[in-house]
Structures are given as structure tokens and as C-alpha cells.
Amino acid sequence: MTPVSATGIASLKRCVLNLFCAFGAAALLLAPSIASAQVTLGPTLQTFGALAGSTVTNTGPSVVTGNVGVFAGAAITGFLPVDGGPGNATGSFNAGNATAGQAQTELMTAYTTAANPVLCTTNLAGQDLGSVGVLTPGVYCFPATTAQLTGNLTLDFQGNPNASFLFQIGTALTTAPGSSVLAINTGGAGCLPNLNFQVGSAATLGTTTNFAGNILANQSITLNTGANLRGRALARIAAVTLDSNLVGGCPIAAAFPGGPIGGAGVVSAPTLQEWALIFLGLMLAGMGGWQVRRKSVVR
């Protein structure tokens, strides 16, 4: 058997060193890409439970947790502090003012980020959200088509309350009466900051729907009688229409069906898979660095 020369051994060491560095760099780069599904709501936008482009209209004893606003329109109707209507809100009413304008600017940024088709990892086109089974964190899309929820959509947060779910819906989102979005294994936290639905046109929640997540709609959002939204109703261009609903971000009353949700500006903590990739990257990069130092000492 021919002995390996010193030059061959040195070449082998360099090859192993390069592999360590390459794998380490790839793992570190991949980890942030997993978290790219996060959609950050700006600080002003986070204060709103309902925001519209044209009008916010309410019928019945709705309660919005957070601010209510409209811009560039200026019409808010059906709320006790505004016109003696039956609805109310825990925050302020902002009709065509600078605060609502800033919130709409931040909504445009968040909507554009959420609508990026490159983020999509699972195409659900043609499937009812009530029949897709239990979903884990990721980006789910309905490219250039509608999304329907009939029954229950179950989301498994895998013990991480900051896990990211993003649903990209090309056109309209509609729920059947009595449908629900259920969050499981949330790590005991009531607030789920990174659950967002980007809707290309209009979102309509059927009667008595219990929905969870921030709805970022390009056009309008309608909550039919008795539908509840554990999140924010954020419409860019057209109206938000309420009818005897509970709407809002976090914090919110404990009596709210399913518990609170909100605070989407919070930076998501890495999931277990992301921590594994980060650890692998650090370990391989560290081994590569040790080899470089060892080689320089030998010289």
C-alpha cells in the first residue's frame, strides 16, 4: 500500500476544513430563511384592532380591543363615542387623521412583505382549510385563487408561542358559519404574535365564526353576525364592516373565545428546528476555525 505523502495529507486537511466552513455557513444562512415568514406590524399599526381605507361601519354591540381608524376615508359609524351607536372600542377613534394615515402606511409595508410569493413553502390551492389536517409553522399559499374555511383549521405551534404562520391568499377569504381557527401546543401563552392572513381582495367571516390571526386585506373585511376575530381587521383600500363582533389584538379580555392573540411586532423566537441549524452552524464554523488556528501554530 502506497503511503500518503505529506502534501496529500495537507490537501485532505484543507478539503475537510473547507467542508466544515461551507456547511457551517450554509446552516447559519438557512436558519434565518426559515424565520422569514414573520410579518412585522409597525408600532402605530399594532395599536389598531380595526383599520379601513374607506369606512368602518358597525351594527350591533361589537367591541374592538384597540384603536379604530380609517384613512384616506373619514367615516366611522355605529360606535357609542362617535355617533351613539351600539359598538365600542377600548382605544381611540381615528377618522382620517395623521395616526390613521401612519397606520395605513405601515399596513402597506406589512402587506407587501406578506404578499411576496417567494415565501410560499406549501401550495394549498383547491383545498378547504378545514380539511388540510393539522398544520405546523410555515407559509401556506393559494396563488391567484380563493381560500375557504369550512369547519376547523388547527394550527400546531409546537410549544413556541412565537412560531410563524403566514397564509397568502391570492383573491378572497371566506369562512362558513360556525368555522374556527384553533391554536394548539402554544406554550401556554395567550398571545400568538406571528399568525397572519394576507388576502388579495376581500375577507368575509361567516356568522359565529371564531377566527384567529391578523387579517391583512387589500380590499375589504366583513364580519357577519356573531363572528369573532382574535386578531386585527386591517383593510388597505375599502371598508371594515362589523355586526355584533369581538375584534382585537393583545391584550384582550380572558372571556374572548379561544383567548387573546396579537403583538405582531414581536420578533419571533427560533423554533427547535431553527435552533438545531444554528447550533450546527456554530459547531461546524468553530471546528473550522480551530483547524485554521492549529495549522497556523504548526507553521
Tell me the domain boundaries of the chain: 15-37+270-298, 45-248
Per-residue pLDDT at 73 exceeds 60 = yes
Q: Which position has the grid cell 398571545?
A: 191
Give pLDDT, residue 250. Answer: 62
Point out which residues pair with 184 in neighbouring strands: 156
Give pLDDT, residue 38. Answer: 79
Give pLDDT, residue 149. Answer: 98
Distance of alpha carbon 256 from alpha carbon 259, whole angstroms: 5
CB atoms inside a 10 Å sphere around CB 33? 11
CB atoms inside a 10 Å sphere around CB 27? 19
- For residue 112, give the amino acid letter: T
Per-residue pLDDT at 264 exceeds 70 = no
Predicted TM-score (pTM) of this structure: 0.77
Can you give the chain as a three-state secondary structure string? CCCCCHHHHHHHHHHHHHHHHHHHHHHHHHHHHHHHHCCCCCCCHHHEEEEECCEEEEECCCEEECEEEECCCCEEECEHHHHCCCEEECCCEEECCHHHHHHHHHHHHHHHHHCCHHHCCEECCCCCHHHCCEECCEEEEECCCCEEECCEEEEECCCCCCCCEEEEECCCEEECCCCEEEEECCCCCCCCCCEEEEECCCEEECCCCEEECEEEECCCEEECCCCEEEECEEECCCCEEEECCEEECCCCCCCCCCCCCCCCCCCCCCCHHHHHHHHHHHHHHHHHHHHHHHHHHHC
The more confidently predicted of residues 62 and 251 is 62
Give pLDDT, residue 258. Answer: 41
What tens digit of pLDDT does each residue of 91-128 get?
A: 999 999 999 999 999 999 999 999 999 999 999 999 99
Per-residue pLDDT at 78 exceeds 60 = yes
Task: Evaluate whether 153 touches 159 at the Cβ level (below 8 Å).
Answer: no
The more confidently predicted of residues 205 and 298 is 205
- Computed over every residue of the chain, the mean pLDDT equals 81
Task: Evaluate whether 244 touches 58 at the Cβ level (below 8 Å).
Answer: no
Q: Which position has the grid cell 369573532?
A: 228
What tens digit of pLDDT does each residue of 169-218 get?
A: 999 999 999 999 999 998 876 667 799 999 999 999 999 999 999 999 99
According to DSSP, the β-strands at 214-217 and 195-199 are parallel
What does the chain come to in residues?
Answer: 299
Give pLDDT, residue 192. Answer: 74
CB atoms inside a 10 Å sphere around CB 201? 16
Give pLDDT, residue 254. Answer: 35
The more confidently predicted of residues 4 and 124 is 124
What tens digit of pLDDT does each residue of 155-171 get?
A: 999 999 889 999 999 99
Mean pLDDT of 143-165: 95
Q: Cα 141–147–149 angle (5° rounding)?
A: 120
